[in-house]
Structures are given as C-alpha cells and as structure tokens.
Structure 1
Amino acid sequence: MMYSTIQKWGNSQAVRIPKYILEMTGLNENDQVELKVQEGIMVLIPVKKHKTLKERISNYTGDYKCAEWDTGKPQGEEVL
C-alpha cells in the first residue's frame, strides 16, 4: 500500500504517482487517462491510443505470402 498527498499545481491540484505504480499499470509519462468518480471513489482509466498498421504488425514474424483467394465457381449472377 502506498500513500500520496494532494498538492497545489498552478490553479489545479495534483498527486504524484510513483514510477513502479505506473509500471504496474502499463502507463507512462504523458499517457492520457480518463478521470471518473464511481460511488465517491476517483478512478483513472487509461485511454487506449490508436496504433498504426506499422505498430500493429511490428512484432509479426510469420512467413505469410499474399496470394489470390479462390472462392469457387460463381453460383448466381456475379460480375466477373
């Protein structure tokens, strides 16, 4: 368990969050969070950031090769 103090920061108030707490949540400096109050308890919710296609496939190590996909013979009046 860890305690912190609410302190003045400009016209607002702030709480310092220890680095190891951020690491446990997967949050980093400058990450956005949503602030909510649920039954009198303040909750910080990480805002999921949009990942680019390059970021999404950066860890892919498979050997997939793009190829045509055979869907079979036409069944109706498909345009070919």
Structure 2
Amino acid sequence: MITKIQKWGNSQGLRLSKDLLADVDIEVGDTVDVSERDGSLVVTPVRRVRGRLDLEELVREIPADYKPGEFDWGPPAGREVW
C-alpha cells in the first residue's frame, strides 16, 4: 500500500486502508505501539486482556499507601448464598 504522511492541524497522520487494518486485526480506536526498526516504521497492535486495559497497567495505578477495606453490598437480592 502506498500512502503519504499528511498534516492535520498541528499533527501529522498516516491514513491506512480498512482492508490493511483488517488484515492485521486492528480497528479504529485500538492502541498500537509505533517504533523504528532498521530505518523502518513498525506499527504493532497492543493486545489487551478484557477490553482495553491490562492487569499490570491497572496495578501500577494503585497508590502505594492504599489499604483495602470491606464494603457492605446490602442484603441478598436473589438466591445468592452468603
């Protein structure tokens, strides 16, 4: 696929065809890793577990002084066994 870098506002962008994105299983809004390898631009999809976040990323955001506590969810609402 031949395309060109274009200016959009104060940024530059690269348009990729829908077919090319489908071939590599990338959709609009997906997170990708963009890197340089031997003078080439490499775009790799970032695979996430359970949607768009991964466990390591979530754990990194927990404050160091966080102390978990208990939460009362109220009485059973169905046939739950407590």
Q: What is the TM-score normalised by the length of structure 2?
A: 0.58
Matches within 5 A, 1:9-20: 9-20=8-19
Unaligned runs of 5+ in 2: 52-82
Q: Percent identity?
A: 35
Query: Aligned with 2:23: secondary structure?
Result: helix
Normalized against structure 1, the TM-score is what?
0.59
Q: Which runs of 4+ in 1 moved over 2 A?
A: none
Residue identity in the other structure for 1:14: G
2:47 aligned residue: 48
- How many residues align? The count is 51
Distance, in Å, in 2 between the alignment partners of 1:11 and 1:49 is 30
List runs of 5+ in structure 1 lacking aligned partners: 53-80
Structure 1 segment 1-80 matched on structure 2, within 5 A: 2-51=1-50
Structure number, greater radius of gyration:
1
Q: CA deviation at 1:11?
A: 1.4
- Shift of residue 51, structure 1, vs aligned partner: 1.7
